[in-house]
Structure 1
Amino acid sequence: MRRFLLVAPVAVLLSAVAVLLATEYVVARPSHRTKNVPYVASTAPDFDKERHVLDVYSPKKAAPQAAGYPVVLFIHGGSWTSGNKNIYSFIGRRLAKQGVVAVVINYRLAPAVHVPEQAADCARALAWTVQHIARYGGDPQRVFVMGHSAGGGLAALLATDDALLARNGLPQNPVRGAILDDPAGLDMYSYLKEMRYEGDAQYKVPFGHDPAVWKEMSAIYKIRPGIPPFLFYLGGETYPSISGSAGRFRDRLKAIGQAPTYTIIPGRHHIPMVLQLYWQHNIIYQGLLKFVGA
């Protein structure tokens, strides 16, 4: 299938993850999960009690460094219209087991809101993390962002868009690096202008009809010297639009002298790129742990 499908329906993920979660009790023992922590004040006019929440996964052992463990904020995919942090508890558990404090977030979804509001939600979750993660054993000076599919595009915005962060409580960008797992949405401006594949109009639901917004929400146009380093993982059998935009993103980073680590995993399709994170010793965790200094 050539069409630009950013992520399979949540039902597909749920059926796959159900089997994986059967052994979560064993995985959970080395970690502690704090569930449904609000990252937006309940008094805020746009507060959403279902979507403005996050989970924190902390190692049970004390950090070997006084400052705490490195922190990874994970953003789920779902075509900007679906997805839930609860599906990805296995990522939080695996990271905590390997010496990382993981923050797995929800954010509001289209059509109730558009991508600019979703990006703002992610920035607010990042601000909460910097302000509060020390009490969970995390080092606020070592915060990294990570995302799969649409979440990868949102994570890239957090790493590159200082103005977005400044509007949401972060006058300085705290992101120390970005881990992008088969990221979608890095260049929605080009994608929505071209409209090459059947069904592409569905992405105007989250992105709207204004090309200026498409460009503003595309991290590829925010690449500049001094942004944090990037770690890419691409499926060898992923969608052409994902591999194409990721390749252009890599080339722009090279052009400013910040070439990313860029790994293509042969034979992997889009959904298996996130499901493989259930296994502790897979290639993504191997690179991630070195990247964050765990």
Structure 2
Amino acid sequence: MLFSRRWLLAPALLIVPLLLLVANEYATARPSRRTQDVAYVPSTDPTFDAERHLLDVYAPRKKSTTPYPVVVFIHGGSWNSGNKNFYSFIGRRLAKQGVVAVVINYRLSPKVEVPAMADDCARAVVWTTQHIQEYGGDPQRLFLMGHSAGAGLAALLAADNRLLARRGLATNPVRGTLLDDPAGLDMLDYLTKLEYPDDAQYLIPYGKQPEVWKDVSALYHVTAATAPFIVFIGGETYPSIRNSSRKFQQKLTSLGRPPQFTVLPGKKHAPMVLQLYWKDNVIYQELLKMVNG
């Protein structure tokens, strides 16, 4: 995400290095199987989007006597950009390390607003619980991971049980969530203040009603029963991300559910996801401890 004039350049700055990484990735042999462009919303659904209601599954090639843990990854992009295809390296790295990865698309602004994006992500999670066994995954060990705006959506799915209940899951299946430089954890505060240049642009994906800003902010839904969080932020990330992440940490701690919270010195917002190209990165290390714990 976010939250200064510099952020307006961030999607473009992210795309160029990501494309270079993807090109290199396809030149490298990988011990994983990618099943591409699986629709998680039926084509008969009136809201079906043939590009955005798709996901990719990355499964280890190595057979296992027990199902693998599952991680659903939600990309960032300021709620108006981003594509699962840029993040194949994350799917490959997770599969190589014994995880079935599900990397999703969801509809973007200005076509829809954030509540519809959250519903899309919920539908992708529901699809995963219903079908991931076909790919060697264990629906009883389902975790979420996201970067930037995608991390905010992941946190919301983990915290707001209503999103999944509306789609037929009486119990939230998320066993833990890793947030990578998360944006959107407290948009009520952010959009009320509008303290940075060009902040008004986020009224397009979020609308103009404060009750909606609060309703789609994970900070206001976490409880003592919410599954564990791991939070990473960059030491040089945007002030709004740093401040809202700290507030999120404090809220969870007050509930008796302190998250594992790590600041990576010197890291800016885009490098926080680009570093996931390397499978031995500390974020993967901590994620694997969670999913295998």
TM-score, normalization by structure 2:
0.96
User: What is aligned with 2:46?
Assistant: 45
Whether contact under 8 Å (2:10, 2:270) holds in the other structure is no
Question: CA shift at 1:172, angstroms?
Answer: 1.0
* 1:213 and 2:200 matched: no
Cα 1:87–1:245 change in 2 (3 A) is same
Question: CA shift at 1:3, angstroms?
Answer: 1.4
Cα 1:128–1:97 change in 2 (3 A) is same
Between the aligned partners of 1:5 and 1:140, the Cα distance in structure 2 is 40
User: What is aligned with 2:63?
Assistant: 62
User: What is aligned with 1:182?
Assistant: 181
Q: Which runs of 5+ in 2 are unaligned?
A: none
Whether contact under 8 Å (1:8, 1:271) holds in the other structure is no
Between the aligned partners of 2:160 and 2:279, the Cα distance in structure 1 is 31
Between the aligned partners of 2:237 and 2:146, the Cα distance in structure 1 is 16
Between the aligned partners of 1:52 and 1:259, the Cα distance in structure 2 is 34
Between the aligned partners of 1:69 and 1:8, the Cα distance in structure 2 is 38
Q: Which amino acid aligns with 1:69?
A: Y
User: What is aligned with 1:122?
Assistant: 121
SS of residue matched to 2:178: strand
Between the aligned partners of 2:190 and 2:11, the Cα distance in structure 1 is 23
User: What is aligned with 1:24?
Assistant: 25
| Deviations, residues 92-116 of structure 1 (Å, cap 9, x unaligned) | 0000001100000000001100000
Identity %: 60
Give aligned pairs, total.
292
SS of residue matched to 1:246: helix
Cα 1:176–1:168 change in 2 (3 A) is same
State the superposition RMSD in angstroms.
1.6
Within-5 A mapping of 1:96-245 = 96-245=95-244
Whether contact under 8 Å (2:3, 2:199) holds in the other structure is no
TM-score, normalization by structure 1:
0.96
Between the aligned partners of 1:208 and 1:242, the Cα distance in structure 2 is 20
Q: Which runs of 5+ in 1 are unaligned?
A: none
Q: Which amino acid aligns with 2:248?
A: F
SS of residue matched to 2:181: strand
Between the aligned partners of 1:115 and 1:133, the Cα distance in structure 2 is 26
SS of residue matched to 1:249: helix
SS of residue matched to 1:273: helix
